[in-house]
A and B are shown apart, each in its own frame.
Chain A
């Protein structure tokens, strides 16, 4: 069974750093891109970007580029989403999702989401 397990909820203050994780199991981890999707409270879905776990090639959504960083670790079958300086507006649930194939951008499997709360 394909599974994406995300790290737990986090509370941080503005300006702090944070890394959340997404661990894949039940499939060949390096063969499938992982996408990140943001959902602010009560709002819709926003595509943040994606990473190829095999070579760490990344596509960022320009709306997020420069404020976040993706990385991957094949040894632990995990991908990571990092902020170096959080803002209150980063408060949201973040989902990782496995892309079907390189050429097909549908998101077949999703993690359970990580709620990030940024508050003074």
Chain B
């Protein structure tokens, strides 16, 4: 299975911060990498697909980059409603896999 490793399980952040969340794949997955946001008690929500394409309706402060094995989700200016857990997911090879998640907490 392809392993996805998110560099931080938790990040301490402040409103207005530029936040970067990284995801590293155990092998080359081209750009077959997606990002999801999950708030407590809610279903995940797709933010970015194919590494860099913003899902319709997602605020432009979110962006994704990377290819191959290294990927980044960036929030340019953190808003209070962005406090959540973020997951990467690969679909290059079955079984699809998720990263372990990065939880944003307010400082």
Contacts and interface: CB of A to CB of B under 8 A. Distances in A.
Contact of A45 (B44, B46, B50): B44
Given A44-B100, A110-B44, A105 B95 contact: no
Q: Categorize the interface residue count of chain B.
A: 20 to 34
Interface residues of A, number: 23
Given A44-B100, A49-B95, A62-B95, A110 B43 contact: yes
A63 interface: yes
A113 interface: yes
Given A44-B87, A47-B95, A106 B34 contact: yes
A17 interface: no
A106 B89 CA distance: 8
Given A45-B98, A45-B101, A62-B95, A110 B87 contact: no
A57 to B, nearest CB: 13
B37 to A, nearest CB: 11
A108 B96 CA distance: 15
B17 interface: no
Max chain B C-beta neighbours (<10 A), residue from A59, A62, A107, A112: A107
Interface string B27-42: 0000010101010000
Given A35-B96, A47-B97, A105-B91, 6 more contacts: A45-B98, A104-B91, A106-B34, A107-B36, A108-B55, A113-B43
Interface of B: 32, 34, 36, 38, 43-46, 49-50, 55, 87, 89, 91, 94-101
Interface of A: 35, 37, 44-47, 49, 59, 61-63, 95, 97, 100, 104-108, 110-113
